[in-house]
Structure 1
Amino acid sequence: VGGDRHGKGDGMAHDLVIRGGTVVDGTGAPGWTGDVAVDGDRIVEVGRVDGPGRREIDADGQVVTPGFVDIHTHLDAQLAWDPIASSSCWHGVTSVVLGNCGVTFAPVADGGAEFLAEMMESVEDIPARSILDGLSWNWSTYGEYLDEVETLPKGVNVGGMVGHCAVRVAAMGERSLDEEPAGPEDIAAMVPMVEEAMEAGALGFSTSRTFLHRVPDGRYVPGTHATADELLAFAGVLADHQGAVFEAAAKLGGRNDPEGRFTREEIGMYGDISRLAGCPVTFGLTQVDIVPDMHLRVLDFV
């Protein structure tokens, strides 16, 4: 919303008044009928707004809320050609988080763009050709990627997490896809990349451990088989950054057994990560037809 800010007391109109909507303010309070006044880019009054607005919206029968935050998106490339971030923006979303599931476009080594783009296509069904053509790829670190995002025209607020897949590929190359654990020297190469990303403004770190995520040749994405030691090394980085988050596409319900070893070990490891990092660990739960209550049974471990 544009325009100069004017106080109600000076007799001048607000830039925008939204009138008569059901206001749900995000505090947990029940919705109530009221008005919202906006001057410039700030909400200046909520309640009964007596003064006029240069622009007025009749919100009778509508719900008026703060913008929603879409915490799990894969808009990392799409923002380059779709500044309004559809379809998130169609549902009241005003802030989006990139970099989920460990799949990001930075850090990237020389010649690594094609692999990262093809991995995103394989995991999220976003065409690699569009990714390669739509992005400038004039970065190597995650901080430089964030600088590029900053230059893009955007209709939403944007933040991002640095992805384990990209970090592992940049540090280990083809070996990043192996099932063998990363060695001490590999972890020593990856940790500074995560440190750089966090210092540059990343919201946190993400990883993929689910067997559903594969690269085009059928192998699991880098990091799927990462040991607890590797992930705890990254948790140590997050510990130095208040407000960070650790996100995972989790390895849960192995062989459709929510009480099995895979699930118990996975949840236990996330507890260790959360305690070391001093931050939340987030992961999605999905309902599967063969065990329709599996997501509920997994929650019993959390």
Structure 2
Amino acid sequence: MSDYDLVIRSGTVLDGSGGEAQQADVAVNGGVIAAVGRDLGPGREEIDAQDMLVTPGFVDVHTHYDGHVTWENRLRPSSCHGVTTAIMGNCGVGFAPCREQDHDTLIRLMDGVEDIPFPVLAEGLPWTWESFPEYLDVLAGRDYDMDVGGYLPHAALRVYVMGARGARREPATADDIERMCALLEEALDAGAMGIGTSRTLFHRASDGSPIPTLDATNDELLALARTLRKAGKGVFQIVEDVHLPGKDVSVLRQLAEASGRPLTFSMGTGNSGPQIWPQLLQGLEDANAAGVTIKGQVMPRAIGMMLGVELTLNPFYTTAGYRE
């Protein structure tokens, strides 16, 4: 007679707590871990995990499945590689809230920022929503091979509230900011993970126009951060060119302090070289030591990038002449 539904035998167990790896069996009953230890009783099904790692499912905190989740049930390749939760809405790009006349604007933005082709998105997106809560309702009605969550994308929010002014990166008025904050609060109540935004020159639509949030003022971002504080929940996700000359992590700390919530940002470098890392890491260490939670997102493997003078990633983008 079996003691368990499933026993994973003799694997190298990393339980996610930060402790040392241990060789152990993992037993499962009713889809829940029932025991971890050596020489556990028999299972109805057994897997030999000798010389293999046994870990919790990975949470991929930076994905762009925002479109795919509206037509796909299997979120590959992530679900094929141990990811059990994916977070979308990063970099401020996504598809809600959105009015019909702005569909192509958001598709071009995702096409340019993430290289997901315009025809694929235009054909696949059903657009059976307008607001962010309605978008979440659409996702809630679908089945996936992993869990998903999403930030409210700031670029979509800006275009929704400001229309063409937002797409052209014009300054938001006090009324615009108030409306954005109200919609963020609504999204948080509906289940948004927080808000995602970007102020990097890297992020451009497929027509070459910069992301609508590129020139968003600190006042605009601070107002959104304070909305997270008011709600008492959510994460502030941002891509900011902190490695460029004259910039540092101080603005990230201001946002994290204003929100009272965790802030996460993409850690990367450009032509400024590795000399910025000591200052960047020291700034993060100082903030976290003071109780201000800022986490840098890093890639678990090396990647390659294609740069070109007519491509999104221009090798001269960090130079003063190109920025002008």
Contact 1:102 1:206 in 2 (8 A): yes
Contact 2:70-2:138 at 8 Å conserved across structures: no
1:289 shift after superposition: 5.4
Q: Which residue matches 1:207? A: 197
Where does residue 298 of structure 1 map in the other structure? Answer: 280
Judge conservation of contact 1:285–1:295 (CA < 8 Å) in 2.
no
Query: What's the counterpart of residue 4 of structure 1?
Result: none
Letter in 2 for 1:164: H
Q: In structure 2, what is the Cα distance between the partners aligned to 1:201 and 1:75? A: 17
The residue that corresponds to 2:147 in the other structure is 157
Asked if 1:270 is matched to 2:246, the reply is no
Q: Deviations over 1:192-245 (max 9, x none)?
A: 211111110001001010011112332211111011111111112111333411
| Offset of residue 80 of structure 1 | 3.5
Q: Which runs of 5 or more residues in structure 2 are unaligned?
A: 285-324
Contact 1:206 1:248 in 2 (8 A): yes
Task: Provide the residue aligned with 2:18 in structure 1.
Answer: 28
Residue pair 1:100, 1:247 contacting (<8 A) in 2 also: yes
Indicate which of 193, 214, 229 corresponds to 1:224.
214
Question: What SS does the corresponding residue of 2:177 show, helix, strand or coil?
Answer: helix
SS at match of 1:212: coil
Q: Give aligned-pair identity as a percent.
A: 42
Partner of 1:109: 99
Paired position in structure 2 for 1:17: 7
The Cα of 1:12 is off from its aligned counterpart by 4.3
Could you tell me whether the CA contact under 8 Å between 1:106 and 1:142 is conserved in 2?
A: yes
Asked whether 1:136 is paired with 2:126, we answer: yes
Q: Work out which of the residue numbers 267, 270, 287 in structure 2 matches 1:288.
A: 270
How many aligned residue pairs are there? 284
User: Deviation of residue 190 (structure 1)?
Assistant: 1.4
Task: Give the Cα separation in 2 of the matches to 1:288 and 1:128.
Answer: 28
SS at match of 1:301: helix
Residues 140 and 179 (structure 1), Cα distance of their counterparts in 2 relative to 1, 3 Å cut: closer
Q: Deviations over 1:223-278 (max 9, x none)?
A: 11011111111112111333411000112233xx3xx2xx13xx222212211211
| Amino acid in structure 2 at the alignment position of 1:199 | D
Structure 1 counterpart of 2:44: 54
Which SS does the other structure have where 2:25 is aligned?
A: strand
State the Cα distance separating 1:51 from its structure 2 match: 2.1
Question: How far apart are residue 297 of structure 1 and its match?
Answer: 3.6
Amino acid at match of 2:259: A
Residues 27, 40 of structure 2: 8 Å contact kept = no
1:93: Cα distance to partner? 1.0
Q: Partner of 1:100 in structure 2? A: 90
**CA spacing shift, 1:290–1:279, aligned 2, 3 Å:** closer
- Say whether residues 1:236 and 2:218 are aligned partners: no
CA distance in 2: counterparts of 1:174 and 1:299, whole angstroms: 38
**Contact conserved, 1:286 with 1:295, CA < 8 A, in 2?**
no
Q: How far 1:293 moved relative to its partner?
A: 3.8
Distance 2:39 2:30 in 1: 16
**1:198 aligns to what?**
188
Note if contact 1:162-1:202 (Cα within 8 Å) is conserved in structure 2. Answer: yes
Instruction: State TM-score, norm by structure 2.
Output: 0.83
Distance 1:299 1:50 in 2: 44
Q: Say whether the 8 Å CA contact 2:243–2:269 is kept in structure 1.
A: no
Match of 1:7 in 2: none
Deviation at 1:119, TM superposition (A): 0.8
CA RMSD of aligned residues (A): 1.7
Conserved? CA contact 1:288–1:294, under 8 Å? no
